[in-house]
Amino acid sequence: MRISFKLNGTDTNIDVRPDRRVVDLLREDMGLTGTKESCGAGDCGACTILVNGESRLSCLMLAVQLDGCEITTVEGLDGGRSLHAVQESFIEHGAVQCGFCIPGMVMASVDLLNRNPEPTREEIRQGLAGNLCRCTGYQKIVDAVEKAIPYCKAGEES
Amino acid sequence: MSKVTSNVLPRSSGISRAGERHGTPQIGVTLPRADALDKVTGRELYAADFYSSDMVWAGVKRAGLPHGRLVGIDAARAAEMPGVLRVLTHKDVLGTNRQGVVRKDQPVLVDDKVRHCGDPVALVLAESREVLRRAIRLIRVNCEPLPGVFDPQAALAEGAPLVHEDSPEGNILLKGDLSIGSPSDAELECDLIVEGCFETPRQEHAYLETESGWACTEADGKIVITCSTQTPFRDRAEVCEALGLDSSRVRVVAPYVGGAFGGKDGVTVQSLLALAALNSGGRPVKMWWDREESFLAGTKRHAAKMRYRLGAKNDGTLHFLDVEFYLDTGPYDHLGGVVLALALEHAGGPYRIPHAALRGWCVYTNNPIGGAFRGFGVTQVTAAVEQMMDILAARLGMDPVELRLKNALKIGDRNCVGKTLVSSTGLTDCLETLSKHKLWKDREAWKAGAGSSKRRGVGIAALMHASGYGPVVPDYANAKLELTREGRIVVYCGVVDMGQGNASTNLQIVGALLNQNADAIDLIQPDTDRTLPSGSASASRCTYTFGNALIGAAEILKDRILQRAADLLMIRDTNDMVLVPGAVKHLPSGREVPLSRLAAFLNDDERVAVHHFRAPVARDGLGVEENLSLHGLPHTLFSYGAHAAALEVDEITGIVDVKRYVAISDCGKVINPQVYEQQIQGGIAQGLGFALSESFDVLNGQVLTPDFTTYLVPTAPDVPEMETLAVEIHEPTGPFGLKGVGEIATNGPLPAVANAVRDACGIRCSEFPLTPERVKAALESKERDGGRE
Amino acid sequence: MRSVHLPRNFEELWTVLGNEPDAALYAGGTDFLVKMRSGLEAPECLICLERVEELIGVRDEGEEVFIAAATTHSRLLETTLIQREFPVLAQALAVLGSPPIRHMGTIGGNIVTASPAGDTLPPLYALKAEVEIRSADGERRAPIGDFIQGPGMAALEKGEVVTGVRLGKNARWNVQHYEKVGRRKAQACSVASMAALMEVSDSGVIQAVRLAWGSVGPTVVTSAEVEEALCGEKLCPDTLRRAAALVEKTVSPISDVRAGAEYRKTLAGALLLRLNDYANVPVTEA
């Protein structure tokens, strides 16, 4: 069936099996391999994308559910210009090790800061509770989100 | 302020692309990792990220029963399914059909017997992942079921079913029986002997990137396997032997790995992928295990049962140790024997114990495969010995830090297997730093602040962890550097970066030695055709061994560049020549020669520098039987640590809530503080999972925790704030004084937590992890017994 | 090929349901799509309810609050009306799954899934929620305890859809409490949970109480006997301990990979003891 949605700012109109998982559609059909899959069952958050600005698990969404939505994947986070403040902060503060959880972690962080622009460290941990990381012990990820707070707020105000 | 659109930074923000504002890298100074940019943007291509329009999906039918003789494979319905290209079995494997790091006992595809539920029986090639899944479900494995063995001690009993009928010692993969000093006399000389039994669970690596790979066939017939691995060179040898291919037919490429922790030390998808590629009609093949398959077929940290007796004099001097332990290695060697040897070597912890009797068995069963996992046997025995130290301290009425300090190994001492320590030995420094830390010093005040129904406690653990391969298997690396015609530097990394950041550290080392900016240096990831054999990414050895090789290569290249620049400028010697970013400068005259110009004056071979480094090994003649030496006993280089956990136990539910954690480590000189902290913090988190929630449960060979819903790794709220301090003692043999940091932190949390729980509420469990259920049961049993332990 | 429908309103929904009477419905998919992946569910036709406009939102209806079935957990958690009137539900929503699961999962989905571990269910039982069910032919209502009949079993006929739940406001509950015991701090399936509503007098006497436990029986467990034992008693450890002993006799948990039955039984009682934290605490109006 044909579905229309906005993908990383671009109007997209494709023919797809309605029950194709969104994670497969993105990775295999559209070549957007920044979105990862690690459990396929909603337990790990590696496949997190933004749907209408809200974090969703692309392994638990079927293609038809994209119809009419605005989708952002990690590839589209920067609007094609510069890095998002969260991405910059992840690099600078050592949040990245093996990196396989990182695209999902970045998307979850953006969602968190959109909802709660000034989270405490505990709120950051709760906000990232759906995203498993096996390398970092989360501390530097929490550091990175915390350090990105002023830059995200600055971005919103302007 | 400047106009910026949503959340995109102005360049003046102070944050910038890694490397841009950091100048030339320096040793001992944080440099953001070179891999971070492509990973945060999703641009990095992992082995799991390869697709093409003409690709074939490959997948495996797994046995589903723990032990049985293969009678037949009914794949007719699967083979006839539209979209299925081929169904392959052991009959299609033309080599030995056996894989293994030490003992080659694991089939690519089962040919005689199924030995655990995850054994691969048939390989399916299909047009799509969906068809592949359905086809695999249609295959029927006909087996004559055999009685299985599911417990190491039961497997040793007379008449127990044999996992391998041809194994020389039945179900014993490897046994160690060491007697150091005079244990039987020493036992009688002790003023006090304490005893304890401990069981630690199987632990799953749970890397986020499950096993995956991509195989292409080139025009000349060469199969190129790009896969998620820690060991590309060894993989090539294993694939070729198992499939009967000449080594020139196979190339293995190892991109950045999405986590490994030992679970990708050895073959996972490699042989299957190569077999698929041989039968795909030249089309590229993708294999990507899903989470359940990864859990079922992947290796685990060995489940362990340990019995300890520790004897001391009244003044706290350790005198005697008697240890007996059993490791469940599942049906295949993998690295089980090596794990056993390392566990034996660390069974006595980081202490002087003059008399020890150490007995360990690594035993075949029909459970999932035991294998390498960060900590590698040391995690298990440290869990035991560090609880024994607290039990002893309590009986002696001694402070736990004081008891450890009194017996702490120093350089020149012998460890529990009699090995004399000749490398830097910083345990005392770690313990002294810990004893002055406020978490330890002020613990009584903190404990007094517990809320209603809560009990607080603080516990410690002292650690020691060997690095490298041991006395026999050569631990070497070959570093290669190139000055390109464009004047850039290329580092040919021989050791995989599975997330630990060694690729970035290589860049930092080269940048610092050649005084070049990080963005002028390129990394070539391990590749059997392009980089040189440098061993596995394992054993806390990566930066120690490869870093030493790299320093050698950098010095060769530097000398060559300076000499040629001096020649060009007609200067007599290189004393006044220095490398500056992009050029060589003659200091007295200020004249510079760009590296690109210099490169033109070097021929292709001259632009390349190679250096071989072989790690030092223990020379001690300990009288250890040869087979144990072959499996790595003893080592000569050790890192040390002292950990403390502060936690709260909820008396109503039994939930243990770790509030703070401090880790002090002697891993030699730190090259990049950020990467050092990453390693320690990540190790602690895995150790906390092992202590509190992770247990890969199996009943009669069947997995009870098949996925992330049932196997619980820590989430962000589960891990406390951690403080990671370094006692930077220079290790003379290490690159810039460094020692291994990859594994040691994993070993601390279980004993530190167990000791803290004891401190909080007077209970000690013998089985781990400390689930709320176990803790609650222990609390209730203590209450019933009127507070007696 | 499996068809998937995305109706935008009741009218479209009834039409699709009329054409596809055997279609499976999902609202969020955090449970259903997991079962589909593992092969436990293999419907030929699916209807996704997330866009049906009548199924989204929270309505203040005076004495009652109506929560439409496909309202996500996140949306509920952020709704002031829910936070104010039903803190016990808000507390449960806050520990349900993880942020993305809460963005996707819905209260209707949690009800129809009918898992004994469903986090919203103990609060809904304690609040005596009424489930609203519709089909093309009409509407009916059922108390949640009647609607959920067993693990995974909801009294939903072919052609019927849960459209929402009704919760009665009740200012008398000056203690609203939810606690879940999991094996880790987040994203944990409950080993046992308890929702409690209490009216505690200024002198510390329990005037009224409603309790509901999750994960300690085939469905959520309530007990008039335990509630009666607490009513009129002083809120103190002794009272709670006596009631806890009764609770242990009332529940009928199973052993599974998460915990043993004995522990669950102990927990069900022990969780009552936490209510002592509300003794001597000045209670504010709910």
The answer to whether B645 and B749 have CB atoms below 8 angstroms apart is yes
Cβ count near C43 (within 10 Å): 18
- Annotate B568-622 with DSSP letters as a single string: HTT-S-STTEEEETTEEEETTT--EEEHHHHHHTS-TTTTEEEEEEE--------
Residue B422 burial (C-beta neighbours within 10 Å; 0-12, 13-18, 19+): middle
pLDDT higher than 60, residue B17 = no
pLDDT of residue C171: 93
What is the 3-class SS of B260-276, one letter each residue?
A: CCCCCCCCCCHHHHHHH
Q: Determine, for residues C4 and A108 on separate chains, whether the beta-carbon distance falls below 8 Å.
A: no
pLDDT-above-90 percentage for chain A: 92
**Residue range B174-202, pLDDT digits in tens:** 999 999 999 999 999 999 999 999 999 99
pLDDT of residue C284: 52
Phi-psi category of C255—alpha, beta or left, where left has phi over 0 and alpha has psi -120 to 50?
Answer: beta
Residue ranges with strand state E in B651-765: 656-666, 698-699, 702-703, 721-726
This model of the complex carries an ipTM of 0.98
pLDDT of residue B515: 97
**Residue range B202-220, pLDDT digits in tens:** 999 999 999 999 999 999 9
What is the 3-class SS of B206-259, one letter each residue?
A: CCCCCCEEEEEECCCCCEEEEECCCCHHHHHHHHHHHHCCCHHHEEEECCCCCC
**Residue range C236-282, pLDDT digits in tens:** 999 999 999 999 999 999 999 999 999 999 999 999 999 999 997 65
Instruction: Work out the angle between the directed axes of helices A102-115 and A139-157 (0-180°, nearest 10).
Output: 50
Cβ-Cβ pairs closer than 8 A, A with C, add up to 81
Q: Is B194 helix (H, G, I), strand (E, B) or coil?
A: strand
Nearest to B29 by CA among B509, B488, B481: B509
**Residue range B506-521, pLDDT digits in tens:** 999 999 999 999 999 9
Beta bridge partners of C154: C148
pLDDT of residue B11: 33
pLDDT of residue B13: 36
Query: What rounded mean pLDDT belongs to chain B?
Result: 95
Q: Determine, for residues B653 and C270 on separate chains, whether the beta-carbon distance falls below 8 Å.
A: yes
Nearest to B707 by CA among B194, B210, B260: B210
pLDDT higher than 70, residue A156 = no
> Cα(B307)–Cα(B358) distance, rounded to whole angstroms?
10
pLDDT higher than 80, residue C174 = yes
B168: Cβ–Cβ under 8 A, 6 or more apart, which residues? Answer: none
Pick the range with the lowest mean pLDDT from B17-26, B184-193, B572-581.
B17-26
Nearest CA in chain C to B451: C277
The Cα angle at residue A13 between residues A10 and A14, in degrees rounded to 5? 125
Structure tokens at B133: 């899944």
The Cα angle at residue B275 between residues B273 and B279, in degrees rounded to 5? 110
Nearest to C161 by CA among C2, C18, C268: C18
Give contacts of C185 with chain A, Cβ < 8 Å: 129
Q: Smallest Cβ distance to C100: which of A40, A55, A64? A: A55
CA dihedral B771, A133, B720, B740 (to 10 degrees): 100
The answer to whether B272 and B242 have CB atoms below 8 angstroms apart is no
**DSSP element (H, E) containing B177:** strand B172-180
- B452 at the C interface (CB within 8 A)? yes
**Residue range B147-178, pLDDT digits in tens:** 999 999 999 999 999 999 999 999 999 999 99
Give contacts of A111 with chain C, Cβ < 8 Å: 99, 103
Length in residues, chain B: 789
pLDDT higher than 80, residue B352 = yes
Strand B638-650 versus strand B454-466 pairing type: antiparallel
Give contacts of C104 with chain A, Cβ < 8 Å: 56-57, 60-61
- B695 at the C interface (CB within 8 A)? no
pLDDT grade for B786, boundaries at 50, 70 and 90: confident
Beta bridge partners of C142: C131
pLDDT of residue C1: 74
Q: Determine, for residues B7 and A139 on separate chains, whether the beta-carbon distance falls below 8 Å.
A: no
The mean pLDDT of B258-279, rounded to a whole number, is 98
Q: Smallest Cβ distance to A65: which of C1, C50, C99? A: C50
> Cα(B226)–Cα(B782) distance, rounded to whole angstroms?
55
pLDDT grade for B408, boundaries at 50, 70 and 90: very high
Cβ count near C100 (within 10 Å): 28
Give contacts of C6 with chain A, Cβ < 8 Å: 64-65, 67
Q: Determine, for residues B15 and A97 on separate chains, whether the beta-carbon distance falls below 8 Å.
A: no
The mean pLDDT of A20-31, rounded to a whole number, is 98
- Annotate B370-383 with DSSP letters as a single string: B---TTTTHHHHHH
The answer to whether B411 and B423 have CB atoms below 8 angstroms apart is yes
Q: Smallest Cβ distance to B773: which of C98, C260, C277? A: C260
Beta bridge partners of C199: C208
Q: Determine, for residues B30 and A94 on separate chains, whether the beta-carbon distance falls below 8 Å.
A: yes
> Cα(B313)–Cα(A106) distance, rounded to whole angstroms?
56
Strand B721-726 versus strand B656-666 pairing type: parallel
pLDDT higher than 90, residue B423 = yes
Q: Smallest Cβ distance to C277: which of B452, B704, B718? A: B452
Nearest CA in chain C to B719: C185
Query: What distance lies between CA B70 and its chain's CA centroid?
Result: 34
**Residue range B649-701, pLDDT digits in tens:** 999 999 999 999 999 999 999 999 999 999 999 999 999 999 999 999 999 99
Q: Find chains touching chain C: ≥3 CB pairs under 8 Å.
A: A, B
Nearest CA in chain B to A83: B8
pLDDT higher than 60, residue B1 = no
The Cα angle at residue C10 between residues C8 and C16, in degrees rounded to 5? 80
**Residue range B689-743, pLDDT digits in tens:** 999 999 999 999 999 999 999 999 999 999 999 999 999 999 999 999 999 999 9
The Cα angle at residue A26 between residues A20 and A30, in degrees rounded to 5? 110
Nearest to B548 by CA among B731, B743, B375: B731
What is the 3-class SS of A42-53, one letter each residue?
A: CCCCCCEEEECC
Q: Determine, for residues A98 and B708 on separate chains, whether the beta-carbon distance falls below 8 Å.
A: no
- C267 at the B interface (CB within 8 A)? yes
Query: Rounded to 5 degrees, what are φ and ψ at A50?
Result: -105, 130
Length in residues, chain C: 286
Q: How far is C101 from chain A (nearest CA, A)?
A: 7
- B592 at the A interface (CB within 8 A)? no
- C83 at the B interface (CB within 8 A)? no
Give contacts of B261 with chain A, Cβ < 8 Å: 134
pLDDT higher than 80, residue B2 = no
> Cα(C32)–Cα(C50) distance, rounded to whole angstroms?
13
pLDDT of residue B785: 87
pLDDT higher than 50, residue C6 = yes
Q: How far is C262 from chain A (nearest CA, A)?
A: 28
Give contacts of A60 with chain C, Cβ < 8 Å: 29-30, 33-34, 104
Q: Determine, for residues A155 and B207 on separate chains, whether the beta-carbon distance falls below 8 Å.
A: no
pLDDT-above-70 percentage for chain A: 95
**DSSP element (H, E) containing B446:** helix B443-448
B68-79: b or e for each residue (b if 16 or more CB lie within 10 Å)?
Answer: bebeebebeebe
Q: Which of A21, A62, A115, A116 is the best substitution to test chain C (most C C-beta atoms within 10 A)?
A: A62
- B767 at the C interface (CB within 8 A)? no
Structure tokens at B760: 């909080």
Structure tokens at B379: 């995690």
pLDDT of residue B788: 52
pLDDT of residue B570: 95
Give contacts of C189 with chain B, Cβ < 8 Å: 709
Query: What rounded mean pLDDT belongs to chain C?
Result: 96
> Cα(B109)–Cα(B103) distance, rounded to whole angstroms?
17
B244-266: b or e for each residue (b if 16 or more CB lie within 10 Å)?
Answer: ebeeebbbbbbbbbbbbbbbbbb
Model pTM score: 0.97
Cβ count near A147 (within 10 Å): 18
Give contacts of A139 with chain B, Cβ < 8 Å: 681, 719, 721-722
> Cα(A117)–Cα(A110) distance, rounded to whole angstroms?
10
Instruction: Work out the angle between the directed axes of helices B378-396 and B400-407 (0-180°, nearest 10).
Output: 110
The mean pLDDT of B326-350, rounded to a whole number, is 98
Name the interface residues of C facing A (CB cutoff 8 Å): 1-6, 29-30, 33-34, 37-38, 46, 48, 50, 74, 97-101, 103-104, 185-187
- C263 at the B interface (CB within 8 A)? yes
pLDDT of residue B5: 32
The answer to whether C204 and C279 have CB atoms below 8 angstroms apart is yes
